[in-house]
Amino acid sequence: MRSRPPSPENTAEKATAHGINAPFLRTVARRDTGDATRFPFSVPVIRTLETLAFSTPVTFFVGENGSGKSTLLEGIATAARLPAVGSSDMDADVTLAAQRELGQALRLTWTRKTSRGFFLRAEDFFGFAKRLSAMRSEFLEHIAQLEVEYADRSAFARALAMGPAHASLADMERRYGLDLDANSHGQSFLRLFQSRFVPNGLYLLDEPEAPLSPQSQLALMAMMQDMLAEGAQFVIATHSPILLAYPGATIYSFDRAPAAVVPYDELDHVVLTREFLNAPERYLRALRQS
């Protein structure tokens, strides 16, 4: 028998009664469409998907590689038509063709619709940082060319010609720092994340721990706390036992089909990590013997 998700109406009412922002996205359900013999509909968790309820402002998807957690998150992002932080828009990203098909098969219900927020895959962040670095170099080169071209002109003429480039460069540096690509990946990721936040947004994050040290993961959790106070909602696919410990979050395990809510202490990721840290020599001994 499939577990029945919590009623979104009841959870929204309870959240409002306790002064907590009710999640924007209430449920995701799959329409009876899609070829179950091919990806992504062949993935067990997606093939058996009926309804997932988002009853808390933070929801995690956790599971082994290939379990479908990132695929479903990408499908939700396309269905919600959120902007993507990456090297290309979601509608033009050739790597998301199957996920766009999945998005068309999903039915999203809302407490209140929001167009604020974004979708971010950690793998796309690196390309985005390099694109910003290239844009910054282009602005600087253009300014240098204008300085040569307007060397014999009045100060007013130079300021008028160079004003737009200086303004664009200043806005980029204000939002992202002097050079995202020159910082550590973790520092750049947190700077980017903070710069793109707006209140009352829905944020879909795919494995955000990838560029982050444990300390930086704690910093991300602190940012999330601040953003939740301003009306945010997070749905995060992750392997990180640190992020998964966020207080009050709902955790769906994709290591079973259909996906089901699992307590933090019972997650395979958490149990294995705890056992390894308590007795690493036992696991290392097994490696040497293999």
pLDDT for the residue 16: 41
Q: Which two tokens stand for residue 278?
A: 């308590």
Q: Are 79 and 108 in contact (CB under 8 A)?
A: yes
For the chain, state the CA radius of gyration.
Answer: 22
Domains held by the chain: number: 1
On the question of pLDDT at 287 being above 90, the answer is no
Residue 42: give the domain boundaries: 8-123+202-289
* 40: number of Cβ within 10 Å: 19
User: What does the DSSP 8-state code read for residue 284?
Assistant: H
pLDDT for the residue 5: 44
**CA–centroid distance for 231 within its chain:** 16
Would you say the C-alpha torsion 269, 271, 276, 282 has a positive or negative sign?
negative
Q: In CATH, what number is assigned to the domain containing residue 75?
A: 3.40.50
In sequence order, which residues have a C-beta less than 8 Å from that of residue 199 and are 6 or more positions away? 116, 227, 230, 231, 232
Q: What pTM did the predictor assign?
A: 0.76
pLDDT for the residue 7: 47
Is residue 155 included in any domain, yes or no?
no
Amino acid at 182: A
pLDDT for the residue 112: 92
Is residue 153 included in any domain, yes or no?
no
**CA–centroid distance for 60 within its chain:** 11
On the question of pLDDT at 193 being above 70, the answer is yes
Q: What is the pLDDT of residues 91-108, one digit of tens each?
A: 767 778 899 999 999 999
Is residue 136 included in any domain, yes or no?
no
Amino acid at 217: Q
Scan for tokens 């028998």, then name that residue: 1
Question: What value does the mean pLDDT of the chain take?
Answer: 83
Q: Which two tokens stand for residue 273?
A: 């990590």
Is residue 131 included in any domain, yes or no?
no
